[in-house]
Chain A
Amino acid sequence: MRTEISIKNTKSKFLDKVEELSGENIYACYQCGKCSAGCPSISEMDISPNEIIRLVQLGEEKEVLNSKAIWICASCFTCVTRCPKGVDLAKIMESLRQITLRKNVDYVNPLSISKEVLSQVPQIALVSSLRKFSS
């Protein structure tokens, strides 16, 4: 992965927005990697959880918001439970999803879910999926 780092980006509104939405101190993270070590979904992610938070620190908005990783995170709170610095990465991941969803952009269009799936899955699956994936 090649990322161009610029000091300008670290002063971006993007960082402020993530901190405001999540209520978390992004700079508390010291990159120990414990979140990635315990993440059950890491094999499905294009960018690992500790890299996500580092890229947010560096203000790399596009790279983070276009990642698959933020949508794979299912808020299982394993990283939240284990972070030695008390960073709630689940809240940061949700903030990153929300930045896209609040522009009225769906990650999953509810109308794209087939009738077969609708009749098969329990309500809690459907409601939680749409809460996480649709605007």
Chain B
Amino acid sequence: MKISYFPGCTLKTMAKNFEDSALASLSSLDIEMKEFKRWNCCGTVYSLTSDDLIHQVAPIRNLIRVKEEKDTRVVTLCSMCYNTLKRANKLVKEDSEKLDKLNNLMDREDVKYNGEVEVLHLLEILKNEVGFSQIAKKIKIPLKGLKVAPYYGCLLLRPPEVGIDDPERPTILKDFLGSVGAEAIDYPYETECCASYHTVVNVDLVVERAYDILNSAINRGAEAIVLSCPLCDFNLDNRQKEIKEKFSDFKGIPIFYFTQLLALSLGLDEKVCRFELNFVDPRPLLRSKHLIGEV
């Protein structure tokens, strides 16, 4: 299978561990991710005011690039990119007047957009097209004994019309964990917001929220968290430094991108996981479970 791929900004910088582990895993599952040319920032947040069309240009322009390369589907890994592209696409598919206005705004584009491209998240491809049962068959190193709490955050699930799973009772990450042989931990905070962009000017708010989320998972027996959003990752992983400064009882917990666990379980070279880019080093945990070799 070959599919058009939108990386987004953060996967090319801070979240290289997300991108590299994904590309290596998919290649071993015979999926070719074709990064389309001249992609631009999606805008990160979907514009919520009815008259604000100018902020729909960035996501729709990406979909025009996909269309130009004669593709009808595009896959993203970042939850924020997914949500923004998916919602902008839905808007223009349902509102022909806005679509016309947008096409007029982008008068220097050679190709007009008419809602032809389908936006997908990688987890949807793994679940619906590869199949978790097929993944389970290809696993070389089952992540046996690894207790992982799924963290969905907001934008994979909400609002429900673009979510990839039930917004209140999602199972897609739990099912994924099952396919790679890990044990999924239930806890009440799996869909709670991490405070998102407040991390720029209101670190305290993020610290409080992340502490609640992580501690809830730890208290339920989780040894690690798995997620799919580079901003959630920053808040739950990097901000553990600030959490420890504020809460002396906080023990810390490694955070994985789901693709890192996929790559590891497929038996790929540990290097593609780029664990050195994780803020909390997950390698001592993986060594203790004999999932990676000794140093």
Contacts and interface: CB of A to CB of B under 8 A. Distances in A.
Interface stretch (A7-15, A28-36, A51-59, A74-82): A74-82
- Find the residue from B198, B200, B231, B238 having the highest chain A CB count within 10 A: B200
B283 interface: no
A77 B200 contact: no
Interface of B: 8-10, 13-15, 41, 43-45, 47-52, 55, 78, 80, 154, 158-160, 167-168, 191-193, 195-201, 205, 209, 230-231, 234, 238
B169 to A, nearest CB: 12
B80 A124 contact: yes
Nearest to B160: A81
Contacts of B15: 122
Contacts of A128: 44-45, 80, 196-197, 231
Interface of A: 20-23, 40-41, 44, 72, 74-78, 80-81, 88, 90-91, 94-95, 98, 108, 113, 117, 120-129, 131-133
Contacts of A40: 192-193, 195, 209
A75 B48 contact: yes
A125 B159 contact: no
Contacts of B168: 81
B45 A78 contact: no
Contact of B197 (A77, A117, A129): A129
Given A40-B209, A81-B158, A124-B9, A129 B201 contact: yes
Given A21-B51, A41-B193, A77-B158, A127 B231 contact: no
Contact of A80 (B159, B196, B209, B230): B159
Contact of B45 (A44, A75, A88, A120): A75
Contacts of A20: 50-51
- Find the residue from B13, B41, B45 having the highest chain A CB count within 10 A: B45
Given A77-B159, A117-B200, A125-B199, A131 B43 contact: yes
Contacts of B41: 123, 127
A60 B159 CA distance: 28
A108 B234 CA distance: 21
5 contacts: A22-B50, A122-B10, A124-B44, A124-B231, A127-B44
Given A41-B195, A123-B9, A127-B45, 5 more contacts: A74-B195, A76-B193, A77-B159, A91-B49, A129-B198
